[in-house]
Structure 1
């Protein structure tokens, strides 16, 4: 009995050790996979070349004296490298960065690589909003464009092809972001409800002290 008890105890300890090692391996794999994803790391207003040096995703040089935009040469995620208001998006396929006089002046992107199911689209926008809240961003125009939430009312609105949803957030006097979700006709999956997310980021362009009236529906 004592021998069986010792063997059983050793097996349990071995099992616990193997489980812990497996969990550590999974965590390392997850962090490595995230680190291996190409990213454009930037700050609005900085020189274009600073972004290129800091980023792991390839993008062409800015055109001197022009107002234009560049696109990464592969799927990439956005990392806003501001020490206070920074955030990270998922991998994006549609991703443009505007420049003027070789300085970054705005971003337009869809933080996804394909049209998403509603559950997945909500997961993306709610995670982005959580990052903004934690780093001091504030939702603006909440009466006419409140933040997204996973509620029956929001789900019904997003499923309506004539509505969708938009919210605006602001970081001090440095940045504003528009975040929009709408139904998308995915011809690869014609029988599924798929959604596209739009994210526009730049210096503040909307006044925060007034809102347009909410139109009756």
Structure 2
């Protein structure tokens, strides 16, 4: 897999701590929806970030990078991109990409794990327009769900797509679901035997979800997430 030099076209804030990065590679990046790239910071320092755009649009690479003041791992990447205007990447990497098996899909994202789910969502709606897709996106508050309005509109326009936002700390104006995002899935499904599930977020969330979903009869070969290569 070759290294690809990319121009940094734009870095724009999505929240106070999350940034949308648009890269234009010197040559198209071959990847599957749900894969990630490695950003090369050094010979042995290569940092993974999920690709947020669909695979059918590989002339650019979109990343959603969460980089608050306590996250030097991501902040250093943004600073390198800003100062040099270019960055070397490689990809696509990862085995948790979109599968074409026709089963109804459940996408579960915590925080910027949304970028993984967003790539899969866009690709699925294009390639498998008759496959039902439900996205559960969890954040600490509504402001963390930075594409809330866009996803709400997408769900209104596409009868095969449902968007279920979940917040941990709701204010008095919130009318939606609250708590842990994977608990919202458990509340909606007593039997997952005929579903495929894609998940991205904190490792502890992914592990808890795996245990709970297997109890709901989800086949182990229908659960996808990069975290499961490590836990």
Q: What is the TM-score with the length of structure 2 in the denominator?
A: 0.28
Larger radius of gyration, structure 1 or 2? 1
Structure number with higher relative contact order (C-alpha < 8 Å, ≥ 6 residues apart): 2
Q: What is the TM-score with the length of structure 1 in the denominator?
A: 0.29
The structure whose residues are more often strand, as a share, is: 2
